[in-house]
Amino acid sequence: MITHKEKIDVIAKQLKERTSTTPVSLKKKSVSHQVPKPGDKKYSDEKIDVSNLNEIISIDAEKRICVAEPGVTFVDLVEATMKHNLVPIIVPELKTITIGGAVAGCSIESMSFKHGGFHDTCLEYEIITAKGEIMVCTPDNEHQLIFQMIHGTFGTLGIISKLTFRLIPAKPFVKVTYERHMTLESYKASIWKHYQNQDVDFMDGIIHSPTRYVLSVANFVDHAPYTHSYDWMRIYHVSTRKRKEDYLKTPDYFFRYEKGVTNVSPKSFLGRLLFGKFINSTSVLRMVEKFQKIIPKDKIPITIDTFIPFSKVSEFMAWYGKSVNFFPLWCVPYKIVRKYEWLSDELLNKTEDDLFIDLAIYGMKKNKEIDYYKILEDKLLDIGAIKTLISTNSYSESDFWRVWNKENYTKVKSITDPQNIFRNLYTKMCT
Ligand SMILES: Cc1cc2nc3c(=O)[nH]c(=O)nc-3n(C[C@H](O)[C@H](O)[C@H](O)COP(=O)(O)OP(=O)(O)OC[C@H]3O[C@@H](n4cnc5c(N)ncnc54)[C@H](O)[C@@H]3O)c2cc1C
């Protein structure tokens, strides 16, 4: 058995001995959950191989703390922690998202209205810098700014090689109740009430149309009269239109969107009947990655996660109805648990809200006449909202740094990657 120390020493040595300053990309074992971009330099870059950093190092059931390597997938993590009646506090909905990717990129789900993102549940990161130095970063040691800036900087500030994070008690089943609303105002009022009262364990929803809003509120339960899973013929987001309530085994609840949030694969009944057991987000992303060179750019559907301050949701949706008008939307209330260091002062000064609503578009067709990415970015800038960088980004460099914090980013970059071999965040994600 190769130890964690031996694994990171190999990576550090490769970086220490490297004399070139040309950029590198990571080689991971599991598929990347970013919308493939034709021509992405990561396909041709020299690779730093982190593919064997995929073990759970320890689970302390008493302290409810887990230590694990970044390549551990959430499906494996949930399976291991459930043996102790515990789960990670934030479990992104797709099985093969990794904990390192969730911190370096983004992670949201139906406990985000209480806890923010997966990174907000982390206590410590071990980081390998571009020069092969190994750093331990916590929220209150001398590397606290590095700790805070690692989230959402997509590996451009260093390689996360180990994570320590909190767990939460879990029960074997989840009971979901579907609230129906016909207006945005009534939907928002209910979200606000649950947010204020903190009276449920989970909250997300699907906006099926401008007159059909479903809020899915759920709790852990010990027993279930029946259970459903959504791994073959049933489509979860469609079920929210029809059902009043549902029971799922806890892992099935976490991964209920595994076939796609609102853009399921396969789409047709026959396709699901024949291939539904074998096709899921992972296999679709793998296939797209494999054929990325020959897939026409305009065939890759639009995926956008917008984070709207709660007080701006009505204004945003009025604009959205006129300018985009694509439904269904996935809706995830998200608590901004601190004034994040990676957000610019301009953005932080624009809003008092600590509750944001993640409205996610999955699977919208591109339109030759309208650049939806661009018009959404402009509207988000206007109202002090943000988006994740997981797909196409067309921000100009000056607009980009109106949202992300250039000063903090540059400070950390000068310590962890002064020669810029992991690329600059703007260059990596927007050009
Ligand atoms: C179709 C689709 C659906 C999605 N659905 C959800 C969802 O339901 N819930 C949710 O929360 N998120 C969702 N996401 C977003 C997803 O969680 C993020 O894109 C996340 O960053 C993916 O993690 P990954 O493990 O696949 O990492 P990757 O995609 O492989 O990596 C993400 C970025 O992090 C960097 N990185 C990876 N590992 C490390 C490391 N060890 N150290 C430093 N940098 C690293 C990579 O270089 C890359 O830039 C979805 C994305 C897509 C494309």
Q: Which residue has the tokens 């007080």?
A: 311
* Per-residue pLDDT, 34: 83
* Per-residue pLDDT, 289: 73
Separation of CA 32 and ligand 1 centre (Å):
6
d(CA 40, CA 52): 24
Count up the domains in the chain and report the number: 1
Q: What angle do CA 161, 254, 172 make, to 5 degrees?
A: 110
Q: Which residue has the tokens 């903190």?
A: 198
* Per-residue pLDDT, 263: 83
d(CA 381, CA 396): 12
Q: Give 228-283 pLDDT, tens digit per residue.
A: 999 878 899 999 999 999 999 999 999 999 988 888 878 787 777 777 777 777 87
Q: Give 79-123 pLDDT, tens digit per residue.
A: 999 999 999 999 999 999 999 999 999 999 999 999 999 999 999
First-to-last alpha carbon distance for the chain, in angstroms, is 41
Measured from the CA of 362, which atom of ligand 1 is nearest?
1
* Per-residue pLDDT, 281: 77
* Per-residue pLDDT, 116: 97
Measured from the CA of 117, which atom of ligand 1 is nearest?
11
CATH of the domain at 40: 3.30.465.10
124-133, 259-268, 369-378 — most confident range: 124-133
Q: Give the three-class secondary structure for 64.
A: coil
Separation of CA 200 and ligand 1 centre (Å):
27
Say yes or no to pLDDT of 205 above 90: yes
- Using CB atoms within 10 Å of the CB of residue 44, give its burial: 0 to 12 exposed, 13 to 18 middle, 19+ buried: exposed
Which of 8, 30, 31, 32, when mutated, tests ligand 1's pocket best, judged by the most ligand atoms within 8 Å of its CB?
32
**Hey, what amino acid is at 399?**
D
Which of 34, 153, 331, when mutated, tests ligand 1's pocket best, judged by the most ligand atoms within 8 Å of its CB?
34
Mean per-residue pLDDT, 29-40: 82
Q: Give the three-class secondary structure for 292.
A: coil
* Per-residue pLDDT, 269: 76
In a domain, 387, yes or no: no
Separation of CA 33 and ligand 1 centre (Å):
5
Separation of CA 199 and ligand 1 centre (Å):
30
d(CA 128, CA 134): 5
Q: Are 156 and 425 in contact (CB under 8 A)?
A: yes
In a domain, 188, yes or no: no
Q: Residues with Cβ within 6 A of ligand 1?
A: 26, 28, 32-35, 50, 70, 92-94, 97-98, 100-102, 104-109, 154-155, 159-160, 257, 261, 303, 390
In a domain, 39, yes or no: yes
Mean per-residue pLDDT, 351-363: 94
CB 72: neighbour CB atoms within 10 A? Answer: 22
Return the percent helix, strand and coil in the chain, to nearest 5. 35, 25, 40
> What DSSP string describes 115-143?
H-SGGGGEEEEEEE-TTS-EEEE-TTSTT
Separation of CA 26 and ligand 1 centre (Å):
13
Token pair of 271, please? Answer: 């396709």
Separation of CA 105 and ligand 1 centre (Å):
5
Q: What angle do CA 334, 340, 344 make, to 5 degrees?
A: 115
Mean per-residue pLDDT, 393-398: 94
Peptide bond into 328 cis (omega under 30): yes
* Closest residue CA from atom 33 of ligand 1: 154
Q: How confident is residue 321, by pLDDT bands cut at 50, 70 and 90?
A: very high
d(CA 58, CA 308): 37
* Per-residue pLDDT, 40: 79
Q: Are 102 and 30 in contact (CB under 8 A)?
A: no
* Per-residue pLDDT, 78: 98
69 closest CA partner among 14, 26, 126, 149 = 126
Say yes or no to pLDDT of 295 above 80: no
Distance of CA 206 to the CA centre of its chain: 17
- Using CB atoms within 10 Å of the CB of residue 224, give its burial: 0 to 12 exposed, 13 to 18 middle, 19+ buried: middle
Please name every residue paired with 356 in a beta bridge, in sequence order, or none if there are none.
309, 334
Separation of CA 30 and ligand 1 centre (Å):
10
Mean pLDDT score of the chain: 93
Total count of residues recorded for the chain? 431
In a domain, 200, yes or no: no
* Per-residue pLDDT, 301: 84
Mean per-residue pLDDT, 28-43: 82
In a domain, 122, yes or no: yes
Separation of CA 174 and ligand 1 centre (Å):
26
In a domain, 91, yes or no: yes
Separation of CA 390 and ligand 1 centre (Å):
7
**Hey, what amino acid is at 302?**
I
Separation of CA 349 and ligand 1 centre (Å):
28
Q: How confident is residue 137, by pLDDT bands cut at 50, 70 and 90?
A: very high
Say yes or no to pLDDT of 291 above 90: no
Peptide bond into 266 cis (omega under 30): yes
Measured from the CA of 429, which atom of ligand 1 is nearest?
49
130 closest CA partner among 33, 26, 28, 31 = 26
If residue 425 lies in a helix (H) or strand (E), which one and from where to where?
helix 425-430
* Per-residue pLDDT, 415: 97
Q: Give 159-198 pLDDT, tens digit per residue.
A: 999 999 999 999 999 999 999 999 999 999 999 999 999 9
What is the β-pairing status of strands 173-181 and 245-249?
antiparallel
In a domain, 276, yes or no: no
* Closest residue CA from atom 2 of ligand 1: 33
HSE, side-chain direction, 13 A CA sphere, residue 176: 30
* Per-residue pLDDT, 288: 74
State pTM to two decimals.
0.95
Task: List CB contacts of 42: < 8 A, sequence separation 6 or more.
Answer: 25
103 closest CA partner among 152, 47, 38, 40 = 152
Please give the residue range of the domain that contains residue 138.
Answer: 4-170+412-430
Which of 390, 423, 429, when mutated, tests ligand 1's pocket best, judged by the most ligand atoms within 8 Å of its CB?
390
* Closest residue CA from atom 4 of ligand 1: 33
Q: Give the three-class secondary structure for 412.
A: helix
Q: Quick one: what percent of the chain has pLDDT higher than 90?
A: 81
In a domain, 231, yes or no: no
* Closest residue CA from atom 28 of ligand 1: 32
Least confident of 247-261, 278-292, 318-332, 352-366: 278-292
